[in-house]
Amino acid sequence: MIRTSSLHELVGSGIDQVAVACGVFDGLHRGHHRILDRLQQEAADTGAAPVVVTFDPHPQNVIGTGDPIPLLLSTDHRLMLLARQEIAATVVIPFTEAFSRITPAAFVTDVLCGSGIRVAAVCVGSRWRFGHRAAGNTDLLQQLCNDLNVRTVPVPEVNDGHGTVSSRRVRAAVVAGELAACESMLGRRFSVYGAVRRGKGLGAASLTYATANIKPGNGVLPPDGIYAATARLCNDEGTWTDHPGILYQGRAPTVTDANPGECVVEMHIFEFDADIYGRSLEIVYGDFIRADCRFDSLEALRDQIERDIAEVRARD
């Protein structure tokens, strides 16, 4: 999948006509997937390439006055998931205070349709707002696009019987540890994503269980503890393989004493001994096993890890 910061950068890439979906797409939940499904349909009907136009950082974290919105996905995680949807290109527009002052008309005529790439259709959520002070809605978008002979497709939201599926609801479910509800809204299990990095080295040396450590870009995580998990690795050919294992998320109270460090996310992958340092890893959360806690010794922690692994294996 091609990544750019403007549609204009697609000139010369072999893409000369696009169908576009616009939005932040934090979480890539079922409502977003409905938009992406319609995007693929419009692209197929018009012979255009399906392209997502998104923003980084989150607009509300630039122009909002309250606390920053904790994100379900880092930008790299979001783009990785979009690539799995067979999106031809993703345009990640840097969202700045200056960009926030662009009028709705300028967004359509300059950002979307003034790039030198023919835009066949624009797909958005039915309540999407755009332009300075969120002055633009789907009615205005349709009016502006009609003047340019561009089809506008407002896509209805998804209601799951408990309300509209939204990033806000997904965040609340993750924080509460309601991962079944989260899975229902996302259409997949919650996951984190990052490059494998070196940890404290205790897993293999002192605890006999080597772990893959990552620093996830997620601003939202479920409660600390032990989870069954699946490691997803991408090889050089772009093929993803799944590997079962057990996940620890927490602040390692047994080895950090009274000075807890940053949140640790590490996974022991069963029957796996390849060197994956520096490689991108997606860790998919499964069943919750137990809460994090402090042990009196590394030996006690090691004994508990053995019991945790036995429980996870018994659930397979």
Rounded distance between C-alpha atoms, residue 19 and residue 111, angstroms: 14
Residue segments in the chain with a per-residue pLDDT below the cut of 70: 200-208, 256-261
Tell me the backbone φ, ψ of residue 227, rounded to 5 degrees.
Answer: -135, 145
Q: What is the pTM of this model?
A: 0.92
**Predicted confidence (pLDDT) per residue in 45-57, tens digit:** 999 999 999 999 9
Residue 209 has what pLDDT?
Answer: 82
Highest CATH level, class, for 190-315: mainly beta
Residue 204 has what pLDDT?
Answer: 47
E strands in the chain: 2-4, 17-22, 49-56, 89-94, 118-125, 151-155, 191-197, 212-214, 225-234, 240-250, 264-269, 280-291
Residue 68 has what pLDDT?
Answer: 92
Fold of 2-155: Rossmann fold (3.40.50)
Interior CA angle at 237 toward 264 and 50, to 5°? 90
Per-domain boundaries in the chain: 2-155, 190-315
Residue 31 has what pLDDT?
Answer: 98
Mean pLDDT of the chain: 92
**Predicted confidence (pLDDT) per residue in 184-216, tens digit:** 999 999 999 999 988 765 554 456 688 999 998
**Predicted confidence (pLDDT) per residue in 54-93, tens digit:** 999 999 999 988 889 999 999 999 999 999 999 999 999 9
CB 69 within 8 A of CB 58: yes
- For 19, the token pair is 């169908």
Rounded distance between C-alpha atoms, residue 285 and residue 245, angstroms: 10
